[in-house]
Amino acid sequence: MRRFVGNKSSRNYLITCLQSSLSSSQSRFLTSTTAPLSSDSTMSSITKTPSVTIDNLNPKVLKCEYAVRGEIVTQAQRLQQELKEKPGSHPFDEILYCNIGNPQSLGQQPITFFREVLALCDHPTILDKSETQGLFSADSIERAWKILDQIPGRATGAYSHSQGIKGLRDEIAAGIAARDGFPADPNDIFLTDGASPAVHMMMQLLIRSENDGIFCPIPQYPLYSASIALHGGTLVPYFLNEATGWGMEVSELKKQLEAAQSKGITVRALVVINPGNPTGQVLAEDNQREIVEFCKKENLVLLADEVYQENVYVPEKKFHSFKKVARSMGYGEEDIPLVSFQSVSKGYYGECGKRGGYMEVTGFSADVREQIYKVASVNLCSNISGQILASLVMNPPKVGDESYDSYLAEKDGILSSLARRAKTLEDALNSLEGVTCNKAEGAMYLFPRIHLPKKAIEAAEATKAAPDAFYARRLLEATGIVVVPGSGFGQVPGTWHFRCTILPQEDKIPAVVSRLTAFHQAFMEEYRD
């Protein structure tokens, strides 16, 4: 059908002619549908209800919260823009982001060997150039060739197997076996875009309705509360004991399990974060054994978040994977369902933006494994650069490799600096009036408790804010320091905390300490009872 083209008067004449040959009802319809052609009609007379409003969104999304990128961070980004547009507009000259574990955004440099291998894999044509031998280490060139031989078409832009490239899973399995002293099967490895998609995948598989519960530590990393909410389950809290260095007590697990069961909730899995986020504790091996026994007795899936396994800062503690602990207790793969999560975002590598990670899935029947694979297949595969990094993290340079000395120096330099930063901030926080902070044994965070004056709590309530959120907002406005209120992670009712990363570069730590100290003293004076 050809479109009629002409001026407004000729189109109106045509409509008049058509109307004369139609019934009255047809004529009224034609007039209404062609009203925009008339010079005196406007679209403003038509009122439409929006098809999407806050009231008709998925309620699971509305219930979901993620504090580490919440209101305080949004305000910080606004202040940062104001500082850029109007220098001197605030009582500080820069925003110090202590809210999220994002090392490279705060100046941490990537590991040279990892980036050399990535560069060569992403642009393999340079492998044949003579200049490459002088620019890249021999072992990074050798590793890149080995990896490229395992990738379809030698192209990092190609899809891979849904679980990840088999050769890379072989490398990861070998790294796990070397770490634990027990064998690992590459078929148990699912490579993912960081640990977060793996967590979502398991929640999607385990949660059938709100009657299904997932045990989570309180305080917890809000990925867990968010993913449980999004998938329609119920978070079953177990409280870590702040008085014993954020200890995890089986008596608390039993109490909360009974409470959940009395409400008709079927608890299906137990989340353990070790080293802890946001609390920074490292579990003792005896405690881990108790947890394994509890999961075995109660028929729970053990979801082990072990993304900070490299970040241990105290000589009296050591990381042990839950798989290693379970196997050393004599439990085989068929005895306990266990999912272990690892990520390239944390550790000493801090490759957050590369989105690499994996989960090792053991103790599930073949038909359940098929369903896990099906869910993984829906996303086709994780990104290839992240897959490569995950394999490098679990299989770094060895003694005798050209890159080994420089790699070890970079790794040890980052971890020793993090340990110093953790101790400096821990001591500074404990020197403040009304603040207590447990030792930073691992991970990237401190979670101090702040004993706020009654006046401060009342002032917070007047603004409809949680007292720790009120404190964090005032801290940001006065100093430019961004922390996350403890209420975003969960805490014992009536207590108040905030999470602070140890990630600002070492030369920035004195500024964090001095700004925080001055602010806290002024805040306590302002609201002293």
Closest alpha carbon to 312 in 444, 460, 149:
444
- Interatomic CA distance for residues 350 and 239, integer angstroms: 29
The whole-number pLDDT of residue 15 equals 42
Asked if residue 37 has pLDDT above 90, the reply is no
Asked if residue 382 has pLDDT above 90, the reply is no
The whole-number pLDDT of residue 47 equals 66
Count of other CB atoms within 10 angstroms of residue 119: 16
Q: Band of the pLDDT at 393, cuts 50, 70, 90? A: very high
The whole-number pLDDT of residue 45 equals 54
- Tell me whether strands 449-450 and 435-436 are parallel, antiparallel or unpaired: antiparallel
The whole-number pLDDT of residue 363 equals 93
The whole-number pLDDT of residue 11 equals 45
Across the range 193-213, mean pLDDT stands at: 91
- Interatomic CA distance for residues 516 and 22, integer angstroms: 79
Q: Give the CA distances from residue 177 to residues 34, 147, 284, 326, 333, in Å, rounded to whole numbers and listed in that order.
A: 73, 20, 21, 14, 14
Residue pLDDT, tens place only, 272-311: 999 999 999 999 999 999 999 999 999 999 999 999 999 9
The residue type found at 415 is: L
The whole-number pLDDT of residue 46 equals 64
Across the range 3-23, mean pLDDT stands at: 45
Q: Is the dihedral of CA 242, 248, 254, 256 positive or negative?
A: positive
Give the fold, CATH level 3, of 195-343.
Aspartate Aminotransferase; domain 2 (3.40.640)
The H-or-E segment that residue 76 falls in is helix 71-85
Residue 497's φ and ψ, nearest 5 degrees, are -140, 175
Q: Which of 129-133, 382-386, 421-425, 494-498 has the lowest mean pLDDT?
A: 129-133
Asked if residue 35 has pLDDT above 80, the reply is no
The whole-number pLDDT of residue 135 equals 85
The whole-number pLDDT of residue 154 equals 78
- Interatomic CA distance for residues 393 and 401, integer angstroms: 15
% of residues, the chain, pLDDT over 70: 89
The whole-number pLDDT of residue 67 equals 57
More confident residue, 35 or 79: 79
CATH 3.20.170.30 at 66-97+411-526, yes or no: no
Judge whether 278 and 489 are in contact, CB under 8 Å. yes
Residue pLDDT, tens place only, 68-89: 557 788 888 888 888 888 888 8
Collect all residues with Cβ–Cβ distance below 8 Å to 203 and sequence separation of at least 6. 214, 227, 228, 230, 231, 233
Asked if residue 170 has pLDDT above 90, the reply is yes
Q: Band of the pLDDT at 160, cuts 50, 70, 90? A: confident
